[in-house]
Structure 1
Amino acid sequence: MPQNAPAPRPNLQVAARVEELLREQLEELGVNPRTLAPEDIAAHMHCHLAPNGSMTYLWKNEPMLYVTPETLVDENGAESVLWRMFTKDDMADEADNEAGTYDSFLIDAADCACEDDGDEQPDAAPAAQ
């Protein structure tokens, strides 16, 4: 991605998969996301948004999910974005990441969109049900 190009933005499909992975990670920690009060989610779940569009989700200041976009250009010059998603287990074992055990989504760059409120560190949390 050129230095002055805007960072790719996830679409609803990517956001849904991120939410699903966050729920799974919370459950692995013994936390039932469906019983969390919104104020507990706001207090403990944070997302660091990097300038390149990558996101690191933290629960109680512990990284639990890392999401990074990779812009691809095919032989016709069409761009697409591959979203790589690493859980805390993946982040702990770099050898597995290189072997491809991460989750990823490939979407057209034209489909990459989300609202940007200009906040460099927005809070992100799975929806409580």
Structure 2
Amino acid sequence: MPAYLETEQELSRLARRAAGMRGGPRLLILPGIMGSSIGRSRKNGGIDVTWFDPVEIAQGELVKLALPDGNRYRAVSVIKFAYERLRLVLRIAGFDAVFHPYDWRRAIDWSGRELADRLLREKR
């Protein structure tokens, strides 16, 4: 069996186990550099992801993300194939694990302020 099918089966199994888990201490998962998906909202709803979308990358669309013109784009999620297993395992272990994507194109102090703001909101 191909490895990607084994991984998908494992994620499905973990998702079923995690589905019934509620509560627990809040835990934010911060992805590594370039581990957040970057995209923008569509006019008709939904998200148009540019990073990490292999089709957009192959078509040379990454130039849309360059700052400052790329300000329409923001961190929209994390790259799930890299972080979803971690989130599910932490939920099964009793944590309220959620992702904190950040815009890795921005300066670290900008991302730090964004994280600090979220921590303050979560504390309330």
- Same-fold call, TM > 0.5? no
Give TM-score, length-normalised by structure 2: 0.25
Q: Which has the larger radius of gyration?
A: 2
Bigger fraction of residues in helix: 2
Give TM-score, length-normalised by structure 1: 0.25
